[in-house]
């Protein structure tokens, strides 16, 4: 199996919302996120996120692994699947409840 | 109920404004996250998986109608319409925005509530028996001491930076409903041969990755000396507790490294010194003052027989089922203690909606009940109910979805928030609780099984008290996939014991079957009126293990 791709995530400072890195800015849904297949680019993005910390946009940025499944993107770890969607016990809450949420994830 | 005095009111108000300023400084960049994090934790604010989480203290689990309405308001205005009652008698809101926290805390302060010391390495919210002031077997209301301890430990400058968090629980009855032996310090109110009441003090109990049952460090501490004694325990811990390794920093590690005898010796040395200075003696006038806040309501002179209650039991199977399990005898004739289960079949243990919180406040007012309790088993309790009112109260609870007749039964499951919400979790807890609850939903079967406490944690930190479960379930992570360890034979009551791990962990889709197989062994092998726990203790875990893993390929 090939090495998984990576996505950069963080929580927004003001409200704690889970956000993902996309070309220098932050988006709220995983399917919009920038996917790094190159480890060096991923690390560079993580380094670049320092500025977002200094600018008080986000806290605690880190990289996590994803795999492309059919036409969707799926985090390797259950923790990131749940962060990307919301509590599995409350499908009416979190990102999964928004119209923008792509159920194919 | 306890009412804030001028000191309480001032320090809570000052803390709200202080935190407002700290949030402003964080948002303006004056404070970095590293600087801000310990400050927000001092105010019960965590950053969890999806958002910030605010943990609000409910001292000794007692809430007034006004406070319930405020919690409903917070759920509506600042959260997503619900709150989650925890195993520490607190309530958590899962979707709080950082920018809203100062206003939330200001709103809370108007009903004498706060989130101070619900996190961080300090003495946390003091917990107590949820049947306090109502239980028949009670020697003295444990909330009086819990309130004294709260006042002593709140913002105590010497104990603000302990090696690790510190939890104190108080029980006033022989039957321990506060799990005192699993706390850093547990206090049991006892009566000596002369008929005087005093305190037996345990230290070094705890769950987490290294579970221990507390050791007695004070056999009979006199009432006036209790703060001196607690301060002595804290000083030994503060001085000698490990600060180099977070996993070895709790007092349980210190007590077990020193040995119970040496711990007692060190505590007594400090105690003698503090006592001689005399500064921490609790004045009896102050003790009486605080006791007055917890004076029981003026009970009506009622006979123990209530025709309305008897008629409802005769005519309604639903009421009969509920009253069989959710009522506990009260000390006053004609009264009962009613447990409101927050464990609907297939529901989320401990969750309550803003509508339910508001309606419960109305219920308290309508029936002249001044307070509600939160139990460490994630249920609510009406401590003083006239038996004749029970049919009407039951009807209202039923309409609110709060009349599940399962207190103490197999579906009355404790579960931590787990990986659905918690940043520390390795696996989900709530869905496992839901599936077990659905599997055992048949009421006749639940009654046949009898008392059975299932407790589920989503990580080794054991917020779901799995070590103390008759059946404990611990979620673990194996390469990003959830697995569940099963353990048997734990108890958080006066017969405290730590559960024994059965064997390799089960997969998400195997664990409920495994629990059911273990329960089947009990049903087949129990003797007389033995509870599940008694049968496990008598037989040991082997027969349960054999069945749980029957025909099963090990995952090791």
B316 shares a domain with B270 = no
Q: What is the pLDDT of residue B298?
A: 94
Domain CATH number, residue B540: 3.30.413.10
**Residue B48: predicted pLDDT:** 97
- Span of A94-103, B90-99, B199-208 with lowest mean pLDDT: A94-103
Give the pLDDT of residue B6: 86
B325 φ, ψ to 5°?
Answer: -110, -30
CA geometry: angle B22, B23, B28, nearest 5 deg: 100
Q: Which residues contact B295 (CB under 8 A, 6 or more apart)?
A: none
Does residue B556 have a pLDDT over 50?
no
The answer to whether A89 contacts B434, with C-beta atoms less than 8 Å apart, is yes
Distances (CA, A) of A98 to A6, A57, B319, B388: 24, 22, 41, 48
Interface test with A, best of B35, B50, B96 (most A CBs within 10 A): B50
With cut-offs at 50, 70 and 90, classify the pLDDT of residue A102. Answer: low
Pairs of residues, one from chain A and one from chain B, whose beta carbons lie less than 8 Å apart: 76
Question: Between B27, B50, B98, which is nearest A86 by CB?
Answer: B50
Residue of A61, A78, A91, A93 best to disrupt the B interface, most CBs of B under 10 A: A78
User: How many helices and strands, by DSSP H and E, does chain A display?
Assistant: 2, 5
Structural domain of B458 = 414-548
Residue B367, domain CATH: 3.90.480.20
Among left, alpha and beta (phi > 0; psi -120 to 50; other), residue B475 is beta
Which residue on chain A is closest to B37 by alpha carbon? A59
Of B28, B50, B96, the CB nearest to A83: B50
Give the residue from B268, B293, B318 where a domain finishes: B293
CB distance B33–A59 less than 8 Å? yes
Q: Which of B366, B399, B432 is the last residue of a domain?
A: B399
Would you call B256 helix, strand, or coil by DSSP? helix
Q: Rounded to 5, what percent of chain A is helix, strand, coil? A: 30, 30, 40
- Burial status of residue B529 (CB atoms within 10 A of its CB: 0-12, 13-18, 19 or more): exposed
Domain for residue B363, yes or no?
A: yes
- Asked if the structure places residue B251 within a domain, the reply is yes
Q: What is the mean pLDDT of chain B?
A: 96
Of B296, B287, B381, B289, which is closest to residue B340 (Cα–Cα)? Answer: B381
Compute the average pLDDT of residues B254-264: 97
Total domain count, chain B: 4
Contacts of A10 in chain B (CB under 8 A): none
| Whether residue B90 is found in the same domain as residue B43 | yes
Looking up tokens 């962990």, which residue turns up?
Answer: B505
- Cα–Cα distances (Å) from A36 to A77, B18, B275, B459, B542, in that order, read 17, 42, 65, 30, 50
* Structure confidence at residue A105 (pLDDT): 43
For helices B142-153 and B284-293, give the axis angle rounded to 10 degrees.
110
Mean pLDDT across the stretch B455-463?
97
Same domain for B356 and B315, yes or no, is yes
Per-residue pLDDT of B389-447, as tens digits, reads 999 999 999 999 999 999 999 999 999 999 999 999 999 999 999 999 999 999 999 99
Identify the residue whose tokens are 């007092």. B251
Q: What is the ipTM of this complex?
A: 0.94
Kindly determine whether residue A82 and residue B96, on different chains, have CB atoms separated by under 8 Å. no
| B438 and B532 fall within a common domain | yes
In a domain, B119, yes or no: no
Quick one: which of B150, B468, B163, B135 has its CA closest to B290?
B150
**Which among B98, B477, B482 is the nearest to A13, CB-wise?**
B98
Nearest to A87 among B47, B420, B482 (CB): B420
Q: Is A9 helix (H, G, I), strand (E, B) or coil?
A: strand
Same domain, B418 and B395: no
Phi, psi of A25 (to 5 degrees): -130, -175
Q: In A, which residues are within 8 Å of B51 by CB distance?
A: 11, 15-17
| Cross-chain residue pair A87–B51, CB shorter than 8 Å | no
**Chain A residues with CB-CB distance to B96 below 8 A:** 16
Per-residue model confidence as pLDDT tens digits over B54-69: 999 999 999 999 999 9
Domain membership flag for residue B537: yes
| Cross-chain Cβ contact B50/A94 below 8 Å | yes
Closest chain B CA to residue A65:
B480
Q: What are B341's two structure tokens?
A: 């289960």
Residue A77 with chain B: CB contacts under 8 Å:
477, 480
Distance (Å) from the C-alpha of residue A75 to the closest C-alpha of chain B? 10
Q: How far is A40 from chain B (nearest CA, A)?
A: 24
**pLDDT tens string B136-194:** 999 999 999 999 999 999 989 999 899 999 999 999 999 999 999 999 999 999 999 99
Q: What is the pLDDT of residue B443?
A: 97
Interchain CB distance below 8 Å, B480 and A79: yes
| Chain B neighbors of A67, CB-CB under 8 A | none
Q: Check whether residue B242 and residue B363 sit in a common domain.
A: no
Using a pLDDT cut of 90, give the percent of chain B over it: 95
Residues of B in contact with A51 (CB under 8 A): none
CB-CB contact of B341 with B406 (8 Å): yes
Within this chain, do residues B289 and B336 fall inside the same structural domain, yes or no? no
Q: Which residue of B has its CA nearest to A60?
A: B33
Evaluate whether residue B44 is within a structural domain.
Answer: yes
Write out chain B residues lying below 8 Å of A11, CB-based. Answer: 47, 51
Name the band, by pLDDT with cuts 50, 70 and 90, for residue B553: low
* Percentage, residues of chain B above pLDDT 70: 99
B224 and B155 in a common domain: yes
Residues B260 and B219 in one domain: yes
pLDDT of B313 > 90? The answer is: yes
Which of B419, B430, B508 to mutate to test binding with chain A, by most A CBs within 10 Å of its CB? B419
Which residue is associated with the tokens 């007590």? B255
Q: How far is B32 from chain A (nearest CA, A)?
A: 8
Question: Which of the 8 DSSP states describes residue B505?
Answer: P
pLDDT of residue A69: 84
Q: How far is B442 from chain A (nearest CA, A)?
A: 22
Which residue from B33, B348, B481 is facing A78, i.e. has the nearest CB? Answer: B481
Beta partners for B201? B187, B218
Chain A: residues touching B (Cβ < 8 Å): 11, 13-18, 53-54, 56, 59-60, 76-79, 82-83, 86-90, 93-94
Average pLDDT over residues B6-10: 88
- Is pLDDT at A1 greater than 90 in this prediction? no
Does one domain contain both B155 and B246?
yes
Residue B300 covered by a domain: no
How much is the average pLDDT of B532-549?
98
Q: Of A15, A59, A82, which is closest to B99 when you measure between CB atoms? A: A15
pLDDT tens digit sequence for B227-255: 999 999 999 999 999 999 999 999 999 99
Note whether residue B346 is domain-resident.
yes
For residue B409, being part of any structural domain is answered with no
Instruction: Give B297 to chain A, closest Cα distance, Å.
Output: 40
CA–chain centroid gap for B340, Å, is 15
Decide: helix, strand or coil at residue A64. Answer: strand
Closest CA to B489 of B441, B446, B545: B545
Q: What is the pLDDT of residue B185?
A: 98
Which chain B residue shows the shortest CA-CA distance from A52?
A: B29
Q: pTM of the prediction?
A: 0.96
- Is the pLDDT at A43 greater than 90, yes or no? yes
Does the pLDDT of residue B1 top 90, yes or no?
no
How is residue B111 annotated by DSSP? T
First to last CA, chain A: 20
Q: Are residues B166 and B41 in the same domain?
A: no
pLDDT at res. B480: 84
> B314 and B266 in one domain?
no
pLDDT in tens, B191-229: 999 999 999 999 999 999 999 999 999 999 999 999 999
């Amino acid at each position: 199996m090939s090495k998984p791709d990576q996505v950069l995530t963080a929580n927004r400072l003001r409200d704690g919302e889970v956000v993902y890195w996309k070309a220098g800015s932050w988006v709220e849904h995983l399917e919009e996120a920038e996917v790094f297949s190159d480890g060096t680019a991923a690390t560079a993005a993580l380094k670049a996120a320092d500025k977002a910390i200094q600018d008080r946009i986000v806290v605690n940025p880190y990289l996590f692994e994803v795999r492309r499944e059919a036409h969707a993107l799926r985090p390797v770890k259950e923790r990131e699947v749940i962060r990307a969607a919301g509590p599995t016990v409350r499908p009416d809450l979190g990102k999964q409840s928004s119209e923008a949420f792509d159920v194919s994830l | 109920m306890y009412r804030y005095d001028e000191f309480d009111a001032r320090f809570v108000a000052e803390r709200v404004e202080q935190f407002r300023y700290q949030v402003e400084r964080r948002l303006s960049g004056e404070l970095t996250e590293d600087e801000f994090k310990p400050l927000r934790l001092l105010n019960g604010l965590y950053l969890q998986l999806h958002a910030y989480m605010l943990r609000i203290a409910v001292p000794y689990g007692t809430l007034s109608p006004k406070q319930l309405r405020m919690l409903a308001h917070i759920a509506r205005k600042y959260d997503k319409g619900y709150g989650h009652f925890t195993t520490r008698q607190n309530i958590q809101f899962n979707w709080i925005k950082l920018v809203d926290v100062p206003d939330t805390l200001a709103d809370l302060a108007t009903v004498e509530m706060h989130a101070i010391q619900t996190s961080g390495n300090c003495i946390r919210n003091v917990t107590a028996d949820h049947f306090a002031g109502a239980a028949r077997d009670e020697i003295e209301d444990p909330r009086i001491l819990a309130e004294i301890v709260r006042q002593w430990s709140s913002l105590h400058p010497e104990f603000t930076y302990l090696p690790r968090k510190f939890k104190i629980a108080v029980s006033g009855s022989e039957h321990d409903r506060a799990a005192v032996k699993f706390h850093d310090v547990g206090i049991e109110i006892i009566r000596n041969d002369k008929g005087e009441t005093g305190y037996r003090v345990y230290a070094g109990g705890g769950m987490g990755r290294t579970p221990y049952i507390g050791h007695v460090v004070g056999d009979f501490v006199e009432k006036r000396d209790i703060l001196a004694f607690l301060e002595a325990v804290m000083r030994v811990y503060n001085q000698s507790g490990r600060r180099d390794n977070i996993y070895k920093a709790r007092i349980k590690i210190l007590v077990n490294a020193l040995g119970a005898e040496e711990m007692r010796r060190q505590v007594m040395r400090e105690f003698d010194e503090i006592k001689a200075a005399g500064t921490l003696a609790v004045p009896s006038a102050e003790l009486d003052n605080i006791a007055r806040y917890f004076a029981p309501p003026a009970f009506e002179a009622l006979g123990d027989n209530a025709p309305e209650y008897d008629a409802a039991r005769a005519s309604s199977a639903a009421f009969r089922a509920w009253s069989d399990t959710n009522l506990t005898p009260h000390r006053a004739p004609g009264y009962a203690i009613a447990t409101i289960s927050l464990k609907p079949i297939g529901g989320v243990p401990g969750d309550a909606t803003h509508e339910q919180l508001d309606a419960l406040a109305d219920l308290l007012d309508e029936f002249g009940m001044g307070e509600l309790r939160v139990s460490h088993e994630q249920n609510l309790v009406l401590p003083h109910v006239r038996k004749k009112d029970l049919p009407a109260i039951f009807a209202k609870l039923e309409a609110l979805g709060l009349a599940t007749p399962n207190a103490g039964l197999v579906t009355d499951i404790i579960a931590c928030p787990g990986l659905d919400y918690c940043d520390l979790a390795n696996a989900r807890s709530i869905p496992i609780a839901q599936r077990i609850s659905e599997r055992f939903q048949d009421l006749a079967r639940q009654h046949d099984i009898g008392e059975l406490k299932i407790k589920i944690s989503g990580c080794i930190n054991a917020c779901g008290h799995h070590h103390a479960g008759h059946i404990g379930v611990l979620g673990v992570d194996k390469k990003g996939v959830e697995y569940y360890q099963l353990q048997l034979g734990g108890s958080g009551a006066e017969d405290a014991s730590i559960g024994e791990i059965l064997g390799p962990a089960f997969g998400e889709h195997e664990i409920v079957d495994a629990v059911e197989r273990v329960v089947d062994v009990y049903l087949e092998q129990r003797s007389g009126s033995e509870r599940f726990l008694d049968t496990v203790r008598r037989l040991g875990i082997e027969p349960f293990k054999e069945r749980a893993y029957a025909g099963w390929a090990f995952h090791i």
